[in-house]
Chain A
Amino acid sequence: DIQMTQSPSSLSASVGDRVTITCRASQGISSFLAWYQQKAGKAPKLLVFRVSRLQSGVPSRFSGSASGTDYTLSISNLQPEDSATYFCQQFYSSVRTFGQGTKVEIK
């Protein structure tokens, strides 16, 4: 199975900051990658797919990029409502896998 290594596991930042979260795939996944946001006690929500395409309704301060097998989610102008856990997922393989998650806290 394709392994997705996500880092960091947690981070703390201030309102207005820019934060980045990275997922490294154990093999090429041809940009078949998505990012999800999960707030406490809620189901996850699709944010970004195919590396950089924003799901409908997602604020433009969220963005995605890729370099080789490294995929990055960036949040610019961090807002209090961005406090959540973020997961990456590859859907290149018929056996899909998630990263371990990154908890984003607002200072």
Chain B
Amino acid sequence: EVLLVESGGGLVQPGRSLTLSCTASGFTFGDYPISWVRQAPGKGLEWVGFIRSEAYGGTTEYAASTKGRFTISRDDSKSITYLKINSLESDDTAVYYCTRDQEFDRSPLDYWGQGTLVTVSS
């Protein structure tokens, strides 16, 4: 069974940094790109960015709204993906989902984690 489990969310003060983790199981983690998607309370889905598999360079892409403050990385030996967010702002308050891209390129998100809530507030 494919599972994605996010962790690391919580209440954080504006301006601080936070690293979210996504631990995967049930599939060959290193073969797949991993994306992050967030959802502010009562709002729609916002694609944050993704990281390709190492076979495709392990490179990353980001939404314009997240580029610069967000960094996605992966540790294939541990089947974990990380999302680091710097200089947190109140608009970063959201549930953050880790997702698996269905295949190596241009593919939908076929498995989702349960999400982890990040609340940015003083």
Interface positions, chain A 32-53, Cβ under 8 Å from B, are 32, 34, 36, 38, 43-46, 49
Between A and B, how many residue pairs show CB distances below 8 Å?
58
User: Is B50's CB within 8 Å of the partner chain A?
Assistant: yes
Give me the 8 closest cross-chain CB pairs, A-B, nearest first: A34-B108, A43-B112, A49-B108, A101-B44, A96-B47, A98-B45, A94-B61, A46-B110
User: How far apart are the CA atoms of A60 and B47 in the complex, in Å?
Assistant: 28
Contact status A89-B64, CB under 8 Å: no
Interface residues contributed by chain B, number (CB under 8 Å): 22
Contact status A96-B45, CB under 8 Å: no
Q: Secondary structure of the B side of the interface?
A: strand
Interface residues of chain A, those whose CB is within 8 Å of chain B, are 1, 32, 34, 36, 38, 43-46, 49, 55, 85, 87, 89, 91-92, 94-101
User: How far apart are the CA atoms of A69 and B110 in the complex, in Å?
Assistant: 23
Q: How far is the CB of A28 from chain B (nearest CB, A)?
A: 14
